[in-house]
Amino acid sequence: MSADKIIEKILEKANEDVALIEQETAEKVQSSVAAIERRTELTLNALKNKEKADVEEVHRRSQLMTRLDSRKNILAVKRKVIDEVFDKARTALDTLDESRYEALVTKIVVNGSETGTEKLQVPEKDMKRYRDGLLNKLNAALKEAGKIGELTLDETPASFNSGVMLIGEMSDVNGSFDVLIDDAREKYEREVAEMLFEVEV
């Protein structure tokens, strides 16, 4: 075999090897590209799903916050209405006519007096009505209830706006109308809310 034929055979074999290598390389590249594309698609899908879940979670939280804010605002309005109800009751007590005022104070004094000899402290604006006969009526009511009717009027005016304070030897009884309203609110606020709104507050 001549040298030319040998060289030709070598080149032919080299070309076949190169073609085979190129084919294998191309197949490997295609396989790698396909794998990368699959991984990329999976990653993108995972990111899309996470993004969708994140958006849904943000939406859910937003709706929850909106509902909470709405409930908070409704409760604030209800609280304001209830405050107004008790404020009106306080104003009504402060402006009772004489007979109803006397009846209420008599009840406070008769129920609150232990000995019938307490000192009464009242607001400056009410001093005159006690001096003009209310004190005597209260003492008479105490005697009717079987107690000593010897109440006296403290010359120092009370710090509250309406009502009466019984100052005793051992303890005092605060019969100010503010205290009466606060006690009533503590006992009946839920009932008032149910009457106003027909639902539990």
Render pLDDT for 15-68 as a digit per residue (tens, 0 to 9): 565 566 667 666 665 776 666 677 777 777 777 777 777 777 777 777 777 777
Residue 201 banded pLDDT, cuts 50, 70, 90: very low
Report the pLDDT averaged over residues 129-156: 92
Closest CA to 154 of 133, 130, 180: 130
Give the ranges where the chain is alpha helix by DSSP (H): 3-94, 98-112, 127-129, 135-144, 177-197
Is pLDDT above 90 for 76?
no
Which of 17-26, 120-129, 153-162 shows the lowest mean pLDDT across its residues?
17-26
Report the pLDDT averaged over residues 101-115: 90
Share of residues in the chain with pLDDT > 70 (%): 78
Report the pLDDT averaged over residues 83-96: 79
Alpha-carbon separation of residue 21 from 11, 33, 76, 91 (angstroms): 15, 18, 80, 102
Write down the mean pLDDT value for the chain. Answer: 79
Q: CA–CA separation, 176 vs 184, rounded Å?
A: 13
